[in-house]
Amino acid sequence: MHHFEYRQGQLYCEEVSLETIATEVGTPFYCYSHATLSRHFRAFDSAFSEVNHLTCFSVKSCSNIAILSLFASMGAGMDIVSGGELHRALKAGVPAEKIVFSGVGKSEDELVYGLESGILMFNLESPQEMFFLNDCAASLGRRAPIAIRVNPDVDPKTHPYISTGLRENKFGIDLDIAESMYVQAKEMSNLEVVGVGCHIGSQLTEVSPFLDTIKRLKLLIDRLKEQAIEIRYLDLGGGLGITYSEEAPPHPREYAKSLLAEVDGIDCTLIFEPGRVIVGNAGSLITRVLYTKAGPVKNFLVVDAGMNDLVRPSLYGSYHHIQPVSDHGRQQLTVDVVGPICETGDFLARDRSLPQVEPGELLAVMSAGAYGFAMSSNYNSRPRPAEILVSGDKFEIIRSRETYDDLLRGERVPNFLR
């Protein structure tokens, strides 16, 4: 499955045994399949080959520069939401003119960084940001290319924490307000209106919310044309989901077919911002069992990866399939898979039926490529895990495991405490 498969009872990523990697680099670690990353990017990007488009990978979903560099070599642009992500994208070799800067809270330093870098456009999310960017651009003697991120008030039918297109969400601008903002932006000497943008949520498994959004954006674009405001780019965001358990999201070909039928007649370059659909099933978190613990009500597997390494189950109640790296066909046992963090909410799975395993054995937490390492932390002063990229029968460490000294970098004891 996605280049993670068993061979003679051992789980492999492409041609490399995960046990072999664990022996060399220790646990926990994130493992990504180069073949799956490449295949998924091509599958998405080629689905829109018949129209002018730019596929801007969502950096927030998986930000390692090795992976960004891979996508850049395949022609990808990047969707960023911070100055740090802009720095990563540029270091990975992404041309600045293929970078779209989104995000509801861009600082002055971040706006200046984007302007000086010459990015494709800023997706603006408030009237104040529009005026602020105009001032920043004026101070640099530049014109800032902009789109306004529209909040279309469409229910994405996903988890409320990753819904971004409803009026109660903090993201984007109401359609009516957006139109008046475009009229104002047209008159500002240091802004250049180039696009309309939106993003309604993440892990969407139905096409209908996307289509509803496009219908509303088309009306806006038509109204803007009546006011001599020409739109060159239509940024439809990302959000297409993947299968974690029993979800049945559309294949990118089906998604593209439906969207292209709806945008027919719009003379714009389309921008897409996929993240999860490309990297989600391309990565796995490998963790080692530390202890098995039988309680009066529950059985526990205590592993060396916790919510600091993969927060999605604790934060969203998300499901990740978990399987042993060595499959011996043993009896199933219902367990909670929990980590070492001092929080009751520190779990990777609850009430999960798994083959019985012993301390020292490895488990693979699947579909962890998106919002896995990218959301990891040092909570409980735990070093973040290594990241590994496998290509064929080779693997390389693309991020070293943090050390205890790494945890202290930048900290100091002030003189008045000495």
Neighbouring C-alpha atoms within 13 Å toward the C-beta of 12: 14
Lowest mean pLDDT segment, chosen from 113-122, 184-193, 230-239, 359-368: 230-239
Q: pLDDT band for position 157 (50/70/90)?
A: low
Catalytic one of 31, 56, 62, 342: 342
Mean pLDDT within 119-140: 96
Mean pLDDT within 351-357: 96
Give all domains of the chain, ordered by start, each with its CATH number: 4-32+280-408 (2.40.37.10), 34-276 (3.20.20.10)
| Token pair in block for residue 35 | 């073949």
Checking if the pLDDT of 163 tops 60, the result is no
Mean pLDDT within 280-292: 98
What is the CA angle 317-212-129, rounded to 5?
75
Task: Give the distance, in angstroms, between the CA of residue 135 and the centroid of all CA atoms in the same chain.
Answer: 31
Q: pLDDT band for position 158 (50/70/90)?
A: very low
357-405 confidence digits (pLDDT tens): 999 999 999 999 999 999 999 999 999 999 999 999 999 999 999 999 9
Bridge partners for 144 per DSSP: 191
pLDDT of 160 reads 46
Checking if the pLDDT of 246 tops 90, the result is no
Compute the distance between CA of residue 268 and CA of residue 239 in angstroms, rounded to an integer: 20
Residue 198 a catalytic site member: no
Q: Read off φ and ψ for residue 388, nearest 5 degrees.
A: -125, 140
pLDDT of 156 reads 52
130 in the Ramachandran plot: left (φ > 0), alpha (ψ -120 to 50) or beta?
Answer: alpha
Compute the distance between CA of residue 221 and CA of residue 231 in angstroms, rounded to an integer: 7
pLDDT of 201 reads 75
pLDDT of 308 reads 98
pLDDT of 211 reads 87
